[in-house]
Homo-oligomer: A and B are copies of this chain.
Amino acid sequence: MVNFSCDYNNGAHPRLLQRFLETNDERLPGYGADKYSLSAKAKIRQACGQPEAEVELLAGGTQTNALVISSMLREYEGVIAADTGHISGHEAGAVEYTGHKVLQLPGEEGKLTADRVREYLDAFDADRNNEHMVRPGMVYISHPTEYGTLYTKAELTALSRLCRSRGMPLFLDGARLGYGLMSPGADVSLADVAALCDVFYIGGTKVGALCGEAVVFAPGMRPPHFTGTMKRHGALLAKGRLVGLQFDALFTDGLYFDISSHAIRQTEKLKALVRRAGLPFYLESPTNQQFLLLTDRQLQALERQAEVSFWERVDADRVVIRLAVSWATTDAELEALGKALAELPEN
């Protein structure tokens, strides 16, 4: 049974495990003050072209989103997000648990447009009763989005300009950032992201690590006493080396980018297999998540050969499924999947 259900079902890239072995006996200070965490942060700043940025290392995506949003919003603000955004529907209410509303706007294939956000902000400003409403204080986007799509540089620039003109941080959730950066469809580089966003994170869990996300705050944007905030949220690992070592390895010799590229190459092969099988894509995704439109019968048949993700029901007979490639996807796995796809019933 081949497994394309998600991009976090394997372990870590072997070089990361190797680093655990090599450094295991070293006595290092706790709570992220170890030399590997410091080195990882320096390498990330350099990769971003932002020597004055501040980097913090956390364990997972939901943790990171809740922590960044709750510490950057003022008490009376909410965060704007697409209704398909991860924080809107798939983080079990983690943002609301910190007391802040997610102000959900309709997304377009997972994306928020600057026009849509501006229209919302203008309507808010024009409303004489807006003291009775939640004040928008931040914009959250994902890149790649939950549908695998990517912002163009023009789109990201428009959002960035809008947010900065309103004094509102732009936060980019980069749980799968590597796959977005290395996509043939990408015209946004890591330096672009770092220059255009006020805060974003570089996903490790889905791109080579056992766990870990690296938050990058633009110069001056890191909330004070962030270490205390991490502690208060239960997000400060005693052995900070766990995440530090992994990011240090991922940002040594371009490993993060290389393994992301591999995933994208494997995705291109997967897309060819889907096309060859004559199966329709639900939408055009340039990154490692691919969405197919299948009949229930096709899904049933496929699930005998492959683990995939059910995404949503479209109508009485048809569903959307997700196939996720990762840095670890092998040619053998693709071959097995291709065979399964080719054998699906016609409808």
Contact = CB atoms under 8 A, between A and B. Distances in A.
Contact of A62 (B59, B92, B96, B236): B236
Interface in A18-34: 20-21, 23-31
Contacts of A225: 76, 131, 135
Contact of A310 (B71, B98, B128, B229): B128
A129 interface: yes
Interface SS majority for chain A: loop
**A25, A97, A211, A235 interface centre (most CB from chain B within 10 Å):** A97
B76 A239 contact: no
Given A20-B20, A99-B96, A11 B241 contact: yes
Interface string A81-107: 000000001111110111111101000
Copies of this subunit: 4
B97 A93 contact: no
Nearest to A205: B238
Contacts of A26: 10-11
Interface string A54-66: 0000011111111
A246 to B, nearest CB: 11
A10 B60 CA distance: 22
Contacts of A31: 131
Contacts of A93: 76, 78, 99-101, 134, 232
A260 interface: no
Contacts of A76: 71, 92-93, 224-225, 228-229, 232
A38 B226 CA distance: 35
Contact of A75 (B28, B59, B71, B102): B71
A161 to B, nearest CB: 24
B30 A6 contact: yes
Interface string A101-132: 11010000000000000000000000011011
Contacts of A3: 27
A101 B233 CA distance: 14
Contact of A242 (B210, B234, B310): B210
A14 interface: yes
Contact of A132 (B21, B91, B102): B91
Given A17-B24, A24-B12, A228-B132, A96 B71 contact: no
A92 B131 contact: yes
A8 B238 contact: yes
A134 B104 CA distance: 15
A149 interface: no
Interface string A295-330: 000000000000000100000000000000000100
Given A231-B92, A231-B132, A232-B94, A29 B9 contact: yes
B238 A60 contact: yes
A26 B241 CA distance: 24
17 contacts: A6-B30, A8-B30, A14-B24, A20-B20, A59-B237, A60-B237, A63-B235, A78-B96, A92-B131, A92-B134, A92-B231, A92-B232, A96-B101, A131-B227, A132-B228, A205-B237, A210-B242
